[in-house]
Amino acid sequence: MPAKELYRSLDPHFSQTLVDIVAAELNKNVNICDHKGVIIASFSKERISQVHECAANMLASGHIHEFSVTEDDVARYKGVRKGFNVPIIFEGRCAGVIGVTGEPEAAAPYARLAARFVQAALESSARQEKLVRALQEKEELQTIFLNKIIAVQEEERRKISRELHDETSQALTSIIVGLRVLSEQMGGGEERARVLAMRDLAAKTLEDVHRLAVELRPVLLDDLGLVAAAHKYIESYANQYSLPVDIDFAGLSRERFRPEVEIALYRILQEALTNIVKHARAGQVRVALKKSRGRLRLTVADDGVGFEIASLQTAAAGACLGIHGMRERVALLDGAFAIQTAPGAGTAITAEVPLKEKNHGR
């Protein structure tokens, strides 16, 4: 086994602790060489970083084995003492050599025991590393899936929204116009009233379709950006629910941000405003959007009933998808998400995301 193939280095702190323990127990000199034969831990500290000649020779020969350092070796090599040396084998390779000074036969069991101890420690740290790596890979995969799901969902919504906007709305508009023309040709009477009622129904349906299309994916978001789309959404929300909404967009007018940021914050705004109607019984809402130090921060606050934040942790699986969804969207953009609330004290959610994409170094 040539020395250059050796790969796993021993932790010097760990090695030194082990050396101290064994040396104190034996009252002997103990040292550990790394896979190149360099002493990385020694009871006599001044010898650290000297090459342990005997171990270095053994490693260089490529023949890894236990060995005694004899009187002859002491005379031949500089800086070595009589003792017993045991290679530390890990995953079939030599990670280093541990040496205990003294009469070789007496030192041998201690050196072997210490080597086994180091091997066990290496194995356990390798196992831990493997687990951590597996966990990281799983988390990365989850992030990729989540990104993909959100992208597919957004694309699907965009398609349906365009279809509703371009096809269904056009057809309904033709029907409305047709019914109006028909009603004009009919003169008075009950039949005309029925046609007009049908026209009103079609007009109402057109409004609903329009609202649905906007809810799914506002054309404005793609065309004019977050600020314009948020303004429009809030305006129609305030009208629909007769809820005053104070808007503070701090001088952001036509500024555009990267699409992921715009979509994420728009969806968070939608969910937060929906939650207010569903749960808050609020009298006043405030929406703020602020850019500062390369980050964009959205705050949606209400003066409603608030809630116990701990209830989110105890909620059943599959519940609280709205808040989880907001949190996930922000996390995917490496941002920060916070909820401030208490029973009777209103609720404020804050989502802050970096404007520039983080370089993942991949």
Ligand X SMILES: Nc1ncnc2c1ncn2[C@@H]1O[C@H](COP(=O)(O)OP(=O)(O)OP(=O)(O)O)[C@@H](O)[C@H]1O
Return residues touching ligand X (CB under 6 A). Answer: 275-276, 278-280, 302, 304-307, 320-323, 347
CB of 275 to ligand X, least distance (A): 3
| Closer residue to ligand X (CB): 233 or 307 | 307
291 touches which of Mg ion, ligand X, none (CB within 5 to 8 A by kind)?
A: none
Token pair 């989880």 is found at: 324
Q: How far is the CB of 287 from ligand X (least distance, A)?
A: 12
The stretch near Mg ion (CB under 5 A) out of 72-80, 110-118, 182-190, 273-281 is 273-281
Candidate ranges 42-50, 169-177, 246-254, 267-275; the one touching Mg ion (CB under 5 A): 267-275
The C-alpha atoms of residue 87 and residue 245 are separated, in whole angstroms, by 74
- Amino acid letter for position 176: I
Please identify, using beta-carbon distances, which residue of 76 and 281 lies nearer to ligand X: 281
Closer residue to Mg ion (CB): 262 or 271: 271
Residues 32-91 that bind Mg ion (CB under 5 A): none
Non-local CB neighbours of 197 within 8 Å, separated by 6+ positions:
none
**Hey, what are 334's tokens?**
């490496």
C-beta separation of 350 from 298 below 8 A: yes
Among ligand X, Mg ion, none, residue 302 binds (CB under 5-8 Å by kind): ligand X
Q: Which is nearer to ligand X, 325 or 354 (CB)?
A: 325
Least Å from the CB of residue 278 to ligand X: 5
The closest residue (CB) to Mg ion is 322
Contact 276, 285 (CB under 8 A): yes
Does position 325 interact with Mg ion (CB under 5 A)? The reply is no
Q: How far is the CB of 301 from ligand X (least distance, A)?
A: 9
Burial (CB < 10 A; 0-12, 13-18, 19+), residue 168, is middle
Q: Which amino acid is at 280?
A: A
Six-digit token string for 116: 């086994």
322 touches Mg ion by CB under 5 A: yes
Q: Buried (b) or exposed (e) across 256-290, using 16+ Cβ within 10 A?
A: ebeebbbbbbbbbbbbbbebbbeebebeebbbbbe
Q: In degrees rounded to 5, what are phi and psi of residue 139?
A: -65, -40
Q: Which does 305 bind (CB under 5 to 8 A by kind): Mg ion, ligand X, none?
A: ligand X
Q: By CB under 5 A, tell whether 275 contacts Mg ion.
A: yes
Which one, 15 or 347, has the nearer CB to ligand X? 347
> How does 172-210 read in b/e, with b if 16+ C-beta sit within 10 Å?
beebbeebeeebeeeeeeeeeeebeeebeebbeebeebb
For the CB of residue 299, give the shortest distance to Mg ion in the complex, in Å: 17
Does position 341 interact with Mg ion (CB under 5 A)? The reply is: no
Of the chain, the end-to-end C-alpha distance in Å amounts to 35
> Smaller CB distance to ligand X: residue 34 or 271?
271
Nearer residue to Mg ion within complex by CB, 161 or 275: 275
Write out the residues near Mg ion by the rule CB under 5 A.
275, 322
